[in-house]
A and B are shown apart, each in its own frame.
Chain A
């Protein structure tokens, strides 16, 4: 591949200035999407601006809540004990991404900015109500992750902005979570995936979150499915209803990885499986 001009700023200000002064330039973090696309013949940007030398973007703070640096590698994030303990569903999703080699390069910010319907970190982050912090010449702004994705490959980030961090609140007390990903071989992107979060009190579902990947133009929450369970005990009839609603709530396409009908079925099955598995974790604890 013929080399492109490559800039490696070490401050946010320098990165934003470069972006403003180089029309047609593109940010690169881990490069696992950018490089593959360039090699595949995608239109060449005028230059690449690397975000990996910017300490403000590679640093993460994880305590009661988490501020994850957009340019931190997935491997570095997985090495943070407090992140694995506090938000296991995110760790599980990141641990299933690609291979160790890809996880050493790939960043959480790149996974979200790439805006693929199959971005593995997205459903887990949606379940936790994550926010993205954007920075541009006008300063900072914060968006709910749900607002961030516009369409496949497109975000609501401006051309002059970059993603600084992904912010996650402390999990709801008692929250149980799980991530289910359908793929064909070990290293494969999802045919369909579901992340789920549940809190139960006195046998009633008091907090319900479902998010799905690879079954709509962008990763999505499933609010109608959540509503079908929230405030009710997870009876067989309720779970069947949630499953039916989930299959209607998604809007998958047929592609090389799977058919639309098959994807709907998987989402239904995963909503049921996740609900039963999470509800079982509350048995005996009440």
Chain B
């Protein structure tokens, strides 16, 4: 079975035996290792990607389900090599990153929130990030990073 989809704006295809998970296909044959595997069971959010704009745990999503859809991973955010997206810039500036393992998932979940709601209240940010665990920062800086990302995105538009 062959699955075809758009990965960060580029058409890709991959052959599948059956129920392979999107996370394994991304990190394996497609060579995109930015998306992380933490728990592997929907609890930590390290594997968060966007599918048609919505946040999904790639660790639970069979790759066959993204046929014909648009998948965005952390590698797809930077506008050009050496540059950062507003969300990435904000996490750097506001100290939302320490070891960095949770960061791709945090940023993808934050981006999905901001795509739907450009000016979220703190309660909305917390609600949007309940599925993302961070063992380092203590979350305060992450909430601040998302606020900062909202501001940077506002300036850019």
The residues of A with any CB-CB pair to B shorter than 8 Å are: 1, 3-6, 8, 28, 31-32, 35-36, 39-40, 47-48, 50, 52, 75, 98-102, 104-105, 186-187
Contact = CB atoms under 8 A, between A and B. Distances in A.
A52 B65 contact: yes
A105 B117 CA distance: 20
10 contacts: A5-B19, A6-B18, A35-B60, A50-B62, A50-B64, A99-B131, A101-B45, A101-B48, A105-B61, A187-B130
B64 A99 contact: no
A1 B21 contact: yes
B42 to A, nearest CB: 6
Contacts of B65: 8, 50, 52
B35 interface: no
Contacts of A4: 18-19
Nearest to A35: B60
Interface stretch (B51-59, B71-79, B83-91, B143-151): B51-59
A154 B154 CA distance: 50
Contacts of B43: 187
A260 B56 CA distance: 35
B70 interface: no
Interface of B: 1, 16-21, 40-43, 45, 48, 51, 54-57, 59-62, 64-65, 67, 109, 112-113, 126-128, 130-132
A32 B128 contact: no
B16 to A, nearest CB: 7
Given A6-B1, A31-B62, A186-B130, A105 B18 contact: no
Given A4-B19, A8-B67, 10 more contacts: A5-B17, A35-B60, A36-B41, A98-B131, A100-B130, A101-B42, A101-B131, A105-B56, A187-B130, A187-B131
A102 B61 CA distance: 10
B55 A100 contact: yes
Nearest to A5: B18
A5 B64 CA distance: 11
